[in-house]
Amino acid sequence: MVPDPDKRQVSFPKLKYPLFRDVLPKSPQQWITAKQIQDGAEGLWRIHDDIYDLTDFINSHPGGSQWLEFTKGTDITEAFETHHINSGVAEALLPKYFIKKASKPRNSPFTFKEDGFYKTLKMKVANELKTLPKGIRKKSDNVTDLLLICFLISSPLSCLLWTKSLIYGAAFTLIVGVLLSALTISAHNYFHRADSWRMYLYNISGLSYAEWRVSHAISHHLHTNTANDIELSMLEPFLQYLPRPDKPIIAQMGAFFYPVIFLFTSLGCMVKEISCGVLSIEGKKLSWENVIPFVIPVWMWWISGLYLPWTIIVWLATIMTSSLIFMISGLTAGHHAHTNFFEGDVPREEFIDWGIHQLDTVVERVDFAGDHFKVLTRFGDHGLHHLFPTLDHAELKYLYPTVLKHCEKFETQLRMTTFYNALISHSKQLIRKRPINFREKKQKI
């Protein structure tokens, strides 16, 4: 399919449609390339309406060099505003790297006004973080490390049990798959933040922390449920979440067959990334990180002594189990409810505060909220995580009073649901064809 450079978004018709959104293989590299063409950053880094050359700052960036290397030539306004909570620190460094004013308007509907919802909330949260218990982030580190140890012990044990009993082997393989899903989701806590060895644990499941830093942290988190959310486009045509009047019946049937897609998601992502690396699509290259998933079957085989082909089958079954739970947890975390905003709906404003947009795209699962283990291993406290993605998951529960009170002030809310209702709502969204008018909903409040 040849992309149309003049095509416009449905919800925000003044903005350009992402150039390669509907072009295979729908990779993070393609998404970045499209932004480099459409963002008006002139080969450098754009923040609001200014162009900066951050080349000399790449190796000094406290979060790691990747964040700047990946985004060169794009508009990083959303990332800059949401990844730097301590207001004033990052802003003070910018004048040193200023080049010129941008010549084109931003291709984004989001605002960050000083007296707006998000900027004022960020100031309150920055002050609240100073009062948190010291060493609170160690809780997440300890849980993640324990999950890793348990997985390394249990994965070869599952192979041994297959030699004793098919029933015990199959049951324990499912348990190890659940354990791997918990480890993978907890590792997701780390690739949002400064570089850490724990972010590499994400790759054990066959996924790639580097790929997901773009598709999840930079695309989905910052452009949630809009045309620029690559996570939605990567699932198409198998699962079509956008409300379209012409959505075919086979797409609506995704409400029933989505578990089959979820079973193969991790394996599909692994094959896709390796293929893109081999074929050098959009400059993608293979690295040592691509070896990480394959260390596990070797480990399982070496410790258990199970026949290698059977070991590979057990490994694949473990990954598929993990993939199913990972995807169900992620897609019921709040963004895929049929009451949320999606590209195709009518937004409450043509240019909207980024934080308020986040609230329009999430429904929090109340039965996961505040429970650290569930939050860390099942994408809990997801609304707060989206508002402040670089915070550790152990810190989020302390922010509820501040956020809820702030929502009242701005006459909005952090909506709540249960896991069961979120699961049903997820299916309803796959069926939904009619757009929601959030502008009318706003007027009724």
Tell me the percentage of the chain whose pLDDT exceeds 70. 98
- Contact indicator for 258, 169 with CB cutoff of 8 Å: no
- Largest pairwise CA distance in the chain: 69
Predicted confidence (pLDDT) per residue in 17-48, tens digit: 999 999 999 999 999 999 999 999 999 999 99
- Give SS3 for 346: strand
Least confident of 31-40, 383-392, 432-441: 432-441
Predicted confidence (pLDDT) per residue in 267-320, tens digit: 999 999 999 999 888 788 899 999 999 999 999 999 999 999 999 999 999 999
- Contact indicator for 433, 247 with CB cutoff of 8 Å: yes
Return the C-alpha torsion angle 353, 8, 231, 43, nearest 10: -80
- Contact indicator for 79, 130 with CB cutoff of 8 Å: no
Banded model confidence at residue 219, pLDDT cuts 50, 70, 90: very high
- Distance in angstroms (rounded) separating the CA atoms of residues 30 and 58: 22
* Sequence-distant (≥ 6) Cβ neighbours of residue 165 within 8 angstroms: none
Predicted confidence (pLDDT) per residue in 405-428, tens digit: 999 999 999 999 999 999 999 999
Q: Determine the average pLDDT of the residues in 74-93.
A: 91
Residue 442: its pLDDT value, please? 58
Predicted confidence (pLDDT) per residue in 368-382, tens digit: 988 999 999 999 999
Banded model confidence at residue 87, pLDDT cuts 50, 70, 90: low
Q: Determine the average pLDDT of the residues in 108-131.
A: 96
Angstrom distances, CA of residue 147 to CA of 201, 301, 402 = 10, 20, 31
Q: pTM for this one? A: 0.94
The tokens describing 14, both together, are 């003044």
Q: Residue 176, Cβ neighbours under 10 Å: how many?
A: 26
- Contact indicator for 80, 90 with CB cutoff of 8 Å: yes
* Sequence-distant (≥ 6) Cβ neighbours of residue 86 within 8 angstroms: 126
DSSP calls for 289-330: GGGHHHHHHHHHHHHH---HHHHHHHHHHHHHHHHHHHHHHH
pLDDT at 443 over 80: no
- Distance in angstroms (rounded) separating the CA atoms of residues 357 and 14: 17
**Backbone angles phi and psi of 400, in degrees to 5:** -55, -50
Least confident of 87-91, 275-279, 314-318, 327-331: 87-91
**Backbone angles phi and psi of 171, in degrees to 5:** -65, -45
Q: Residue 405, Cβ neighbours under 10 Å: how many?
A: 11
Q: What is the mean pLDDT of the chain?
A: 95
Angstrom distances, CA of residue 275 to CA of 138, 179, 287, 290 = 37, 28, 13, 11
Residue 304: its pLDDT value, please? 93
Q: Determine the average pLDDT of the residues in 190-200.
A: 96
Residue 412: its pLDDT value, please? 93
Residue 167: its pLDDT value, please? 93
The tokens describing 119, both together, are 């900027």
Residue 1: its pLDDT value, please? 59
Query: In 3D, which of 382, 42, 19 has the Cα closest to residue 228?
Result: 19
Query: In 3D, which of 114, 124, 123, 122 has the Cα closest to residue 48?
Result: 114
- Contact indicator for 262, 328 with CB cutoff of 8 Å: yes
- Contact indicator for 355, 213 with CB cutoff of 8 Å: no
Q: Residue 288, Cβ neighbours under 10 Å: how many?
A: 7
Burial class (CB in 10 A: 0-12, 13-18, 19+), 114: exposed
Predicted confidence (pLDDT) per residue in 357-367, tens digit: 999 999 999 99
Residues constituting the chain: 445
pLDDT at 137 over 70: yes
Angle at the Cα of 213 from the Cα atoms of 58 and 314, rounded to 5 degrees:
135
Query: In 3D, which of 19, 63, 4, 65 has the Cα closest to residue 282?
Result: 19
